Amino acid sequence: MKNRGFSLLLALVLIGSLVVGCGESNTIKIGTIQSISGSVSTYGIQTRDAIKMAVEEINAQGGVLGKQIELIVEDDEASPDKTTNAFKKLVAKDKVVAVIGALISKCTLAITQEAQAKKVVLITPTSTNDTVTDAGDYIFMSCYNDSFQGQVGAKFAWETMKAKNAAILYDITNDYSKGLTENFKAKFEALGGTVVAAESYSAGEKDFNAQLTKIKATRPDILFIPDYYNTVSLIAKQVRNQGINITMLGADGWDEITNNAGDEVLGSFYCNHYSPFSDDQDVQTFVQKYTQKYNMTPNALAALGYDSTYILLKAIERAGSTDPEMIKAALMETDDKFVTGNIRFNEQRRPIKSAVMLKIVKGADGNLDTVYAGTVNP
């Protein structure tokens, strides 16, 4: 009888434990996939850190729907295959209600179809490829797309720089670089300009002298280089070594170039999502908090990661639920001011927002810096 009573008591305890275990969680799980290591780790680390900072701020204010946010971070090393594996883990094992990511377009494009099929809300802070949201209505982007920034660069070259002839040097193996090239060329020619040279290279190349020799012969007014800062730094040195003294122009992939290049990029311009030197109070508050926490000035991708977190979590709060259908509907109601500007979504779930142009200059301390050079509205 004693053994039977003990067995009954044990069974009741186990059943009670299972009931508690099956109860509603006291956290809301959000996943993020960033390239924390690999070729663009500078971007991935800052974006991750800004997302973490936003989550900490929101949790300190009481969380969302009365629950704390649990952030689960995955590193894809800038590899689409690893992005896919990370996404599957976040959804199947971690049971996240939404994913922020990935960092670069080729990685995000590796998971958009599956996110749509599984009805998982996916918002990328930083993938600018025009086709990112094509997979369906669960896919959002908080950065402007390549079409827009390619056109911004062309408009700035024509209207502000008064350039009539442009040359382009781009990575033919990179969708980001190709997309910017196509849109810059189309807009510049539509405005009345002429693209006198469009030379290409492949990812990993380090010698661009053959292409630059051809470009030099066409005597362009500007040189558009739509690539990431590490490659642009190599190209810029060879541009100046060849005695090509024209102004260089780029896009948001140039962010961080002031920490990776020398005087050869002085006087160059690039399009970006925000300027940390803006006198906007929201920008200055963000920059101050980030700098105090991480001891560095946040780049544009950090600002986008921060904004994406607030956009998503505000939508969940508005929805009053973690149901994906309700979250995506609430995201479409977004119309608010964030660090990178006032943001609302169009029918393709792309943000309607402005872009800024930055000029590379010498700072008071003798190091490279950027100054605000203008805003281009959609």
Question: What is the tens place of the pLDDT at every residue in 244-268?
Answer: 999 999 999 999 999 999 999 999 9
- Are 233 and 364 in a shared domain? yes
3-state SS assignment for residue 341:
strand
- Are 245 and 367 in a shared domain? yes
Inside any domain, residue 15: no
Q: Is the pLDDT of residue 10 over 60?
A: no
Q: What is the pLDDT of residues 148-173, one digit of tens each?
A: 999 999 999 999 999 999 999 999 99
- Are 153 and 70 in a shared domain? no
Task: Calculate what percentage of the chain has a pLDDT beyond 70.
Answer: 94
- Are 71 and 168 in a shared domain? no
Write down the pLDDT at residue 24. Answer: 62
Q: Is the pLDDT of residue 18 over 50?
A: no
Residue 13 pLDDT class (50, 70, 90 cuts): very low
Inside any domain, residue 49: yes
Q: Are 300 and 252 in contact (CB under 8 A)?
A: yes
**What is Dmax (Cα atoms) for the chain?**
100
Q: Is the pLDDT of residue 185 over 90?
A: yes
Residue 377 pLDDT class (50, 70, 90 cuts): confident
Q: Is the pLDDT of residue 22 over 60?
A: no
Q: What is the pLDDT of residues 225-242, one digit of tens each?
A: 999 999 999 999 999 999
Average pLDDT over residues 193-211: 97
The separation between the first and the last C-alpha atoms of the chain, rounded to the nearest angstrom, is 80
- Are 178 and 133 in a shared domain? no
Among 213, 209, 235, CA closest to 224: 235
Residues 6+ apart with CB under 8 A from 315: 327, 330, 331, 333, 334
Among 142, 112, 50, 68, CA closest to 334: 142
Residue 343 β-bridge partners: 336
In this structure, what token pair is assigned to residue 309? Answer: 């977190």
Q: Is the pLDDT of residue 11 over 80?
A: no
Long-range contacts from 290-299, C-beta under 8 angstroms, 24+ separation: 290/49, 290/50, 290/53, 293/49, 293/53, 294/46, 294/49, 296/46, 298/46, 298/50, 299/42, 299/43, 299/46, 299/255, 299/256
- Are 372 and 251 in a shared domain? yes
Among 61, 57, 66, 54, CA closest to 27: 66
Q: Are 267 and 359 in contact (CB under 8 A)?
A: yes
Residue 128 pLDDT class (50, 70, 90 cuts): very high
More confident residue, 278 or 107: 107
- Are 114 and 161 in a shared domain? no
CA distance 246 to 165: 11
Residue 277 pLDDT class (50, 70, 90 cuts): confident
| DSSP 8-class letter at 64 | B
Inside any domain, residue 178: yes
Inside any domain, residue 340: yes
pTM of the model: 0.84
- Are 123 and 178 in a shared domain? no
More confident residue, 24 or 283: 283
Inside any domain, residue 217: yes
Average pLDDT over residues 70-97: 98
CA distance 82 to 74: 9
- Are 134 and 227 in a shared domain? no
Average pLDDT, the chain: 93
Among 278, 243, 260, CA closest to 355: 278
Inside any domain, residue 352: no
CA distance 102 to 273: 17
- Are 152 and 122 in a shared domain? no
Parent domain of 63: 27-144+279-345
- Are 129 and 181 in a shared domain? no
CA distance 45 to 78: 12
Q: Is the pLDDT of residue 20 over 60?
A: no
Inside any domain, residue 115: yes
Write down the pLDDT at residue 25. Answer: 78
Inside any domain, residue 4: no
Q: What is the CATH number of the domain that holds 230?
A: 3.40.50.2300
CA distance 183 to 350: 17
Write down the pLDDT at residue 23. Answer: 46
CA distance 265 to 361: 9
Domain count, the chain: 2
Write down the pLDDT at residue 66. Answer: 97
- Are 109 and 151 in a shared domain? no
CA-based angle 218:234:142, to the nearest 5? 95
